[in-house]
């Protein structure tokens, strides 16, 4: 029985207490030690809520006083509260301390806000206060001592533990290489499939040093930028950034920042604000002109914000340049023959990635294993530096400070076959194109590339064919049992569009 589920008002916690200490493997011990050291440093919850396990030794549990609700496991109670409107939450919260605590859970208010954002609002430090328009100095707080709930405590813990243990002391074999710069030839010959950090090119940008969250606030206070599901004026986002404590902070991720700020870009523009680092060469998606998929974003977020594990769209590569702040990167190569990073689950067709909801939750649970997993790469990219994300690599990113960055996705010549394979064979996962051309993206790209760079296209298609053959060879090698004749025994009915085309 979960400690949060009370069948009787005065339950005997001793009954469900674990009887034995389970012997853990050294690896599992390392996890728990890490987690315990970190947990020890968590400040007290402002309402006095403690983790569920404490219920086993407590003499009182105030959840027993919330009527029929006491029977519900915390997860279910929280799920039910997700269907309540603001008025119902406020009224239910005034009935007892435990329900007061459950109805104060700020994720509930974040969802209400996002669902129906108030027309004009002032950010008051929490989603609840903001939604209800309560200035911070008028917010009351009632002690909920003797309430034990992981559902309420864990997000607070994840929002407050120090994450430094995970982002420091990077083992040398995992460290992402750093250089001042690379030439186009060096990139193309050696580095298209390897993450690296360049320390020079971004420092030459006119906006390096002059674009900061503060200068953006001064210049564009009323310009709206996209932050996940909301469009907020820069002034509102900055108040959020300065005063919030979400487990997964709202992340500003705007693909129209060039248009919204009116800047010029590219080395050829006379008053360009920035340009892609030269070593990456021509972006082959540029042959698509206006029809190219989304490719550039301004990214801004407070300390502890970031991106959970994902691969970039359409098998593109990317660069991510930091203007202010710093980011910790955790990266893994991918291929159908290697497992996804620890804690990441892929759907059969690799189109869905499931990983723990928050970055902190991931680091607490899986970081120590991730760090010891072959292929793991880690690094910190600082202001004025740019990091290369190779096509197909998984990455998780954590802002170590309030950060402002620009990112651009591109198709380097050396990875053309991967992009062609993705557009042709994973059509249902193609994204970022205008809707009317999305299912013809492969044909369109082949046509336009053929017009502008026929020899590059030819080479790309040949490489694609080579990879496909090599993939088939490996599949057959792996599935053919000893003594089996060619063509006999087990065979798998792949059609023309072999799913294993990418097997290296």
Ligand X SMILES: O=C(O)CCC(=O)C(=O)O
Interacting residues toward ligand X by CB under 6 A: 297, 299, 306-307, 312, 318, 320, 327, 395, 397, 405, 407
From CA 140, how far away is CA 132, in angstroms rounded? 13
Q: Which is nearer to ligand X, 358 or 407 (CB)?
A: 407
The least CB distance from residue 340 to ligand X, in Å, is 16
Q: Binds 405, which of Fe ion, ligand X, none (CB < 5 to 8 A, cut-off by type)?
A: ligand X
Taking CA atoms, 466 is separated from 126, 407, 426, 470, 488, in Å, by 55, 32, 18, 6, 24
Residues whose CB is less than 8 angstroms from the CB of residue 117 and which lie 6 or more positions away in sequence, other chains included: 230
Taking CA atoms, 343 is separated from 231, 332, 346, 363, 392, in Å, by 32, 12, 10, 10, 18
The least CB distance from residue 376 to ligand X, in Å, is 17
Q: Which is nearer to Fe ion, 241 or 387 (CB)?
A: 387
The least CB distance from residue 283 to ligand X, in Å, is 15
For residue 123, give both structure tokens.
């950010």
Q: Which is nearer to ligand X, 129 or 192 (CB)?
A: 192
Cα distance between the two ends of the chain: 48
Q: Binds 464, which of ligand X, Fe ion, none (CB < 5 to 8 A, cut-off by type)?
A: none
Q: Which is nearer to Fe ion, 108 or 331 (CB)?
A: 331
> Which residue in the shown chain puts its C-beta closest to Fe ion?
312
DSSP-derived 3-state class of residue 453? coil
The least CB distance from residue 383 to ligand X, in Å, is 13
The least CB distance from residue 306 to Fe ion, in Å, is 10
The least CB distance from residue 97 to Fe ion, in Å, is 43
DSSP-derived 3-state class of residue 360? helix
Is-contact 309 344, C-beta < 8 A?
A: yes
Q: Is 301 in the site for Fe ion (CB under 5 A)?
A: no
For residue 338, give both structure tokens.
């290697």
Q: Which is nearer to ligand X, 62 or 406 (CB)?
A: 406
Task: Please name which of 167, 146, 175, 151 lies closest in space to residue 102, comparing C-alpha atoms.
Answer: 151
Residues near Fe ion (CB under 5 A), total: 1
For residue 37, give both structure tokens.
């050291």
The least CB distance from residue 481 to ligand X, in Å, is 42
The least CB distance from residue 309 to ligand X, in Å, is 10
Q: Binds 297, which of ligand X, Fe ion, none (CB < 5 to 8 A, cut-off by type)?
A: ligand X
Q: Is 315 in the site for Fe ion (CB under 5 A)?
A: no
Q: Which is nearer to ligand X, 102 or 196 (CB)?
A: 196
Q: Which is nearer to ligand X, 146 or 407 (CB)?
A: 407
Q: What is the DSSP string of 320-349?
A: EEEEESEEEEEEE---TTSPPSTT-EE-TT
Q: Which is nearer to Fe ion, 155 or 390 (CB)?
A: 390
Part in contact with Fe ion (CB under 5 A); list of ranges 17-25, 126-134, 217-225, 311-319: 311-319
Q: Binds 315, which of ligand X, Fe ion, none (CB < 5 to 8 A, cut-off by type)?
A: none
The least CB distance from residue 316 to Fe ion, in Å, is 9
- Inter-helix orientation angle 86-93/97-104, to 10°: 150
Residue 396, φ and ψ in degrees, nearest 5: -120, 135
Q: Binds 236, which of Fe ion, ligand X, none (CB < 5 to 8 A, cut-off by type)?
A: none
Q: Is 232 exposed, middle or buried (CB count within 10 Å of its CB: 0-12, 13-18, 19+)? A: buried
Q: Which is nearer to ligand X, 191 or 297 (CB)?
A: 297
Q: Which is nearer to ligand X, 38 or 318 (CB)?
A: 318
Taking CA atoms, 198 is separated from 107, 153, 201, in Å, by 38, 40, 7
Q: What is the DSSP string of 152-178?
A: HHHHHHHHHS--HHHHSS--GGGBPEE
Task: Please name which of 235, 229, 249 lies closest in space to residue 301, comparing C-alpha atoms.
Answer: 249
Contact with Fe ion (CB under 5 A) among 106, 150, 254, 312: 312
The least CB distance from residue 313 to ligand X, in Å, is 8
Part in contact with Fe ion (CB under 5 A); list of ranges 198-206, 265-273, 304-312, 427-435: 304-312
Q: Binds 5, which of ligand X, Fe ion, none (CB < 5 to 8 A, cut-off by type)?
A: none
Taking CA atoms, 346 is separated from 351, 461, 482, in Å, by 7, 28, 31
Q: Are strands 377-382 and 353-354 parallel, antiparallel or unpaired?
A: unpaired
Task: Please name which of 483, 318, 475 lies closest in space to residue 397, comparing C-alpha atoms.
Answer: 318
**Which residues, 248 to 287, sit near Fe ion by CB under 5 A?**
none
Q: Which is nearer to ligand X, 149 or 308 (CB)?
A: 308
Q: Binds 144, which of Fe ion, ligand X, none (CB < 5 to 8 A, cut-off by type)?
A: none
* E strands, 33-181, in order: 177-179
Task: Please name which of 191, 152, 501 lies closest in space to residue 337, comparing C-alpha atoms.
Answer: 501
The least CB distance from residue 307 to ligand X, in Å, is 4
Q: Binds 316, which of Fe ion, ligand X, none (CB < 5 to 8 A, cut-off by type)?
A: none
Please report, as ranges, the residues that interact with Fe ion according to CB under 5 A: 312
């Amino acid at each position: 029985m979960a400690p949060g589920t009370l069948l009787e008002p005065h339950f005997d916690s001793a009954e469900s207490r674990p009887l034995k200490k389970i012997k853990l493997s050294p690896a599992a011990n390392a996890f728990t030690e890490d987690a315990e050291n970190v947990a020890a440093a968590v400040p007290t919850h402002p309402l006095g809520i403690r983790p569920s396990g404490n219920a086993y030794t407590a003499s009182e549990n105030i959840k027993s006083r919330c009527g029929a609700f006491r029977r519900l496991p915390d997860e279910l109670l929280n799920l039910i509260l997700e269907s309540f409107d603001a008025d119902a939450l406020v009224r239910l919260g005034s009935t007892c301390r435990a329900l007061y605590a459950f109805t104060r859970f700020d994720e509930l208010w974040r969802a209400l806000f996002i669902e129906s954002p108030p027309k004009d609002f002032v950010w008051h430090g929490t989603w609840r206060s903001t939604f209800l328009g309560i200035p911070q100095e008028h917010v009351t707080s009632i002690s909920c001592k003797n309430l034990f709930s992981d559902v309420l405590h864990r997000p607070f813990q994840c929002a407050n533990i120090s994450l430094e243990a995970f982002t420091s002391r990077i083992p040398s074999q995992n460290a992402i290489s750093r250089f001042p710069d690379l030439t186009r030839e060096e990139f193309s010959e050696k580095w298209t499939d390897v993450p690296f950090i360049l320390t020079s090119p971004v420092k030459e940008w006119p906006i390096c040093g002059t674009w900061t969250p503060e200068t953006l606030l001064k210049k564009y206070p009323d310009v709206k930028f996209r932050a996940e599901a909301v469009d907020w004026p820069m002034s509102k986002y900055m108040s959020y950034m300065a005063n919030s404590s979400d487990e997964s902070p709202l992340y500003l991720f705007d693909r129209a920042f060039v248009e919204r700020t009116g800047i010029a870009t590219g080395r050829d523009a006379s008053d360009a604000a920035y340009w892609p680092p030269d070593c990456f060469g021509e972006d082959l998606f540029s042959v698509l002109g206006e029809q190219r998929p989304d490719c550039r974003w301004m990214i801004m977020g407070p300390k502890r914000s970031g991106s959970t594990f994902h691969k970039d769209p359409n098998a593109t590569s990317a660069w991510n340049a930091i203007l202010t702040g710093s980011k910790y990167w955790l990266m893994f190569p991918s291929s159908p023959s290697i497992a996804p990073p620890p804690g990441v689950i892929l759907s059969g067709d690799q189109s869905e990635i499931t990983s723990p909801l928050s970055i902190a939750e991931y680091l607490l649970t899986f970081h120590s294993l991730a760090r010891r997993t072959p292929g793991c790469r880690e690094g910190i990219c600082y202001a004025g530096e740019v990091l290369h994300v190779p096509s197909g690599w998984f990455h998780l990113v954590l802002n170590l400070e309030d950060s402002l960055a620009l990112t651009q996705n591109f198709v380097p010549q050396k990875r053309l076959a991967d992009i062609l394979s993705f557009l042709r064979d994973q059509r249902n996962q193609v994204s970022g194109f205008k809707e009317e051309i999305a299912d013809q993206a492969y044909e369109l790209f082949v046509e336009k590339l053929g017009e502008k760079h026929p020899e590059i296209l030819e080479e790309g298609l040949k490489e694609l064919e080579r990879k496909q053959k090599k993939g088939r060879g490996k599949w057959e090698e792996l599935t053919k049992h000893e003594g089996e004749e060619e063509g006999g025994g087990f065979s798998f009915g792949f059609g023309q569009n072999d799913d294993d085309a990418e097997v290296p």
